[in-house]
Amino acid sequence: MKKYLKYIAIAAVGAIVLSCDNYVDIKTEGKLIPEETTNYRYLLNNSFTLDKSYGNVDIPSDDISFQNEAQTTALGASDYYRPFTNLYKWSDKVYFDGETDYDMSNLYTALYNINIVINEVTKSTNGTTAEKAAIKGEAEVHRAFIFLTLVNTFGKAYDATTSATDPGIVLFTKPTVSDDIKRTSVQDAYDVILSDLKDAVNSGLKPVNSGNNIAFPSQAAAYALLSRTYLYMRNYPLALENAEKALALQSTLNNLEDYEFAAYPSRKQDKELMLSKWNGYSTYSYAPQLLSLSNELINSFDTNDLRYVLFTQPTSNFSSDYTIGRTYSKEGLTGESRNAGPTVPEMMLIKAECLARAGSGDQAMIEINKLRQKRFRTGEYVALTATDSKDALIKVLAERRRELMGCGGFRWFDLKRLNKEPEFAKTITHVFGNQTFTLAPNSDRYQMPFAPIYFQYAPNLQQNP
């Protein structure tokens, strides 16, 4: 019994132990949970648990800058906002003793049910082989997303020369755990991610999901996450191959001009979204917890760019006390928190980056212009050009930053991987009140610290330096 309780404890620091008692009790009796195939389907229908991401990772990047004194004063006046401000400051301790990192706990809570499905559905009864394979494939996509998110949040950027020894994450792959909870390597995490996704793309998933089914993994989403994984591994040929496979299944773009004076689609109506992974009901759209955008990012936009018009607003719109800058505002349009799920634009940007890196700058710019045309009003768009493939790569990365700003941790993860390349390595500065904080390329602060409470249940869990 103890080892199952410890699994739940590391997932939710004891807060959900009682809600999981039935699973624990059944498990210790040696029975499957549950026995029939259809009940594994029911476990994966719980999108409230599975449709989650790690929203905290949007705060520390160079996209964010708290420029208004009134905002920093309000944030500093209450411990309620301390994790938010500590992430912005790249502090070595984000949470107080006894506090829970709910983003991390939500993902590990989801992982418990996912691992039940992966390990047991093929042995279930009253289901066809094809049904079982597809259900397992869905669970593998969910698990791959969780591991890819967490290893890039708490581990170092992938490096083929060091990842076999770089500390990664606690890699639960079964709904059980040994008494000794430790981090595995970054390479171990990527091995499981790749294995899960390679299995999932051939498991009989539906080609595309949308509407009420957008939180259910599709084959397009599986290829898209494979592409994202290979991009983070800097394996550009395979990132390109899988981006193209995802786009062959789903390639529709939203025309932002259609939404300038109309409601922007929620995740269930968003034609670009391949798989929903939102941040639940945790939103940064109310003062003082706002994602105020850096001048560097804002100045990179053409003011006719409808992403600038629709997805950013003057910070003064959120508080009359704020007078400087603009704030990420897409959450207000959708009525939902930020989404980290794979999208058509992300796949187009990966395709363009890989083409540019392969020396096909002209083809990369064709892909970028195809995307950008849907981000401007008819008649106002001027195509981007590049002098060579190196210039194309620079323009693609700038476009990626604009398109994927404010959500999914994309910019933070990009900074980590691009710091491996001297020409893109960057020192970041954050100002908070009269304090200035500097983050050097490849700093240990790029690996977020674990909340101290987890060490009560996992004393051998290695903390990030």
Q: What is the pLDDT of residue 451?
A: 96
Confidence of residue 178 (pLDDT cuts 50, 70, 90): low
Residue 85: pLDDT above 50? yes
Residue pLDDT, tens place only, 342-398: 999 999 999 999 999 999 999 999 999 999 999 999 999 999 999 999 999 999 999
Confidence of residue 242 (pLDDT cuts 50, 70, 90): very high
Q: What is the pLDDT of residue 28?
A: 30
pTM of the predicted model over 0.85: yes
Q: What is the pLDDT of residue 417?
A: 98
What is the percent of the chain where pLDDT is above 90?
89
What's the rounded Cα separation, in Å, for the pair 414 and 402?
A: 12
Q: Find the angle CA(192)-CA(197)-CA(199) to the nearest 5 degrees.
A: 95
CA 229 to mean position of chain CA atoms: 11
Residue pLDDT, tens place only, 118-176: 999 999 999 999 999 999 999 999 999 999 999 999 999 999 999 999 999 999 999 87
Best CA proximity match to 275, nearest among 216, 335, 349, 204: 216
Q: Peptide bond before 441: cis, by omega within 30 degrees of 0?
A: no
Residue pLDDT, tens place only, 392-439: 999 999 999 999 999 999 999 999 999 999 999 999 999 999 999 999
Count of CB atoms situated within 10 Å of the CB of 368: 27
Residue pLDDT, tens place only, 36-67: 999 999 999 999 999 999 999 999 999 999 99
Average of pLDDT values for 108-117? 95
What's the rounded Cα separation, in Å, for the pair 280 and 335?
A: 11
What is the percent of the chain where pLDDT is above 70?
92
Token pair in block for residue 461: 């869990």
Q: What is the pLDDT of residue 282?
A: 74
- Exposure string of 98-115, with b = 16+ CB inside 10 Å and e = fewer, is eebbbbbbbbbbbbbbbb
Q: pLDDT higher for 181 or 198? A: 198
Average predicted confidence (pLDDT) for the chain = 92
Residue 3: pLDDT above 60? no
